[in-house]
Amino acid sequence: MASHPSASRRGPAYDASPTIPLPDGHRVWRGAAVWTELAASLPDGGTIAIDTYPGVDLTALRAELARHLPDATVVDVEDAAALPAERIEALIAGNLTDDRVFGVLSHHTLYDFYDSAELDRVAADVESGSGLRIVVGWGATLAPVLYDVVVLADLARWEIQKRQRAGAPNWRAGNGGEDTIRKVKRGFFVEWRVADRHKRGLFDRMDFVLDTNGSVDDARLLTADSFHAALDLAVSRPFRVVPFFDPGVWGGQWMKENLGISGEDNFAWCFDCVPEENSLLIAADGEVVEIPSIDLVFRHPRALLGERTHARFGAEFPIRFDMLDTVGGGNLSLQVHPLTDYMQNTFGMPYTQDESYYLLDASDDAVVYLGVKTDVDRSAMLADLHTAASGSGSFPAEQYVNTFPARKHDHFLIPAGTVHCSGADSMVLEISATPYLFTFKMHDWGRLGLDGQPRPIHLEHAAANIQWDRDTAWTERNLVGRVDRTAEGPGWIEERTGLHELEFIEVRRHWFTEIVAHDTLGTVNVLNLVEGDEAIVESPTGAFEPWVVHYAETFIVPAAVGAYTIRPHGPSVGRRLATVKAFVAGT
């Protein structure tokens, strides 16, 4: 790697488990105490619904209930009232398609997967019973029972994916041995969409939240009041979601060496701001409770996103930050993202994955592949791609695709339809729109995935989206080296570094040695400290407690915060720091 004397090398300071601390007085129950508390809430008997997110280990949950509440009557609503698996398969077949990766977004509701007459029968049996009666499973609250207590057993999508890799099936699918990519597809296009619609309806109805991200026998329970208090606190101040790190065939060593992350042989990705996937950690009562960060988006979309951003996107977080580590690794796959019209018509998604690469670090010979070369022969390029995909030859990428030197703090813009990939020996902060699944791989350098299978190639999709007029001259003019100074003051400079006019995300970089004033201006801000060890975020009115961030950490400032400041802190006082800040343009 090139020497970067100003770059931070305080890896262990990077916080991989950021928390939202609740004040004293909030209770958390753990393990066996969970069931003791639930039983104590109904000392004379009554009805409890434990409505689970799909992916919760229902077998283990039922075993815990039998062990700790042996006198309770437990009804599994899924076994009692869900449609047979073959009928569910028929309902969602059009959403799943035959493709290994891509489906069509589902608009089903959970009721579609249940027999209403059987739900009525569950309700009649439960209401006619005596003692403690518990209905458990995804859809427990669909049974028309006037429940005394409602529990949401919640689970983050990233945890679901880890379980599926270990052999867990999709909901009532019996497909534990199936290709993990296909299991994720079923979750992304169907189950998680249906589950989130259902979950949102429980927030004002539930009494408790059960954290099932760990083993069920060590689950944590907190009251709905504490859950809501944590979310109220989160939208009143800067916060971080819980990053997760994932290996990949092209992954590198930079994050392990510079962020203090241990584990796999390599890490390809760090997802540090993907609220659909990430979690929030709530610290209370000496315990830490994990909840999906999408819960915050659903609960407080206006305060988090801002009125105008919410009006445009609904309760969906539109900005994603992640890191791509190829230091000591390999090139990413050569790829292209779908155009908006193609995204809507083919997959049912409302917007596409425009993005950019911001270089946190790079070797002297690092490059980015970006845009096709001028006067490229598209037929020859597609033919060579097909040949490579069939295993009959290699693809001469440099013959068809531009390469540009990649240096620390360079910013490359990648609107949808642009052929691109990061080369080896780079550390990329990827700033993009949220739809993360929609990458059409064109060439993967002859590699197999970590599962030993060929990585999916989608040349038909890619060919339908490549913008051939984004040639060398256009790319140089529009996507490379676009930096405009927009403002400056004592000890700071603001620059506009992207994204492209075709993209909805604006990015500002601030270089600073002194305090910098920021304002959300009514829309959510997502930032990363891209230079310097440590900075402190403060409210000029004292609206939130001063909050410290470290090198390479991504953090979110909710729209409701309004004015805030950032200045060097601790070992960074007297040094030059930099942040990049992304927000929705035109808001």
Q: Where are the domains of the chain?
A: 19-239, 245-282+306-478, 484-584
Topology at the third CATH level for domain 484-584: Jelly Rolls (2.60.120)
Tell me the CA distances in angstroms from 38 to 43, 125, 222, 510, 569, one per residue in order.
Answer: 9, 21, 11, 51, 45
Same fold, 19-239 and 245-282+306-478: no
Q: Are strands 484-489 and 492-498 parallel, antiparallel or unpaired?
A: antiparallel
The token pair that represents 376 in the structure block: 């490229």
Tell me the CA distances in angstroms from 5 to 287, 353, 408, 550, one per residue in order.
Answer: 40, 34, 12, 17
What pLDDT score does 435 carry? Answer: 80
Token pair 């096709």 is at which residue? 372
Residues of the chain with pLDDT under 50: 1-11
Query: For residue 263, which phi and psi values (nearest 5 degrees)?
Result: 140, -110
What pLDDT score does 12 carry? Answer: 53
Superfamily designation of domain 19-239: P-loop containing nucleotide triphosphate hydrolases (3.40.50.300)
What pLDDT score does 586 carry? Answer: 84
553 neighbors 526 (Cβ within 8 angstroms): no
Query: For residue 305, which phi and psi values (nearest 5 degrees)?
Result: -85, -30
Superfamily designation of domain 245-282+306-478: Jelly Rolls (2.60.120.10)
What pLDDT score does 111 carry? Answer: 98
277 neighbors 187 (Cβ within 8 angstroms): no
CA distance 389 to 148: 58
What is the model's pTM?
A: 0.96
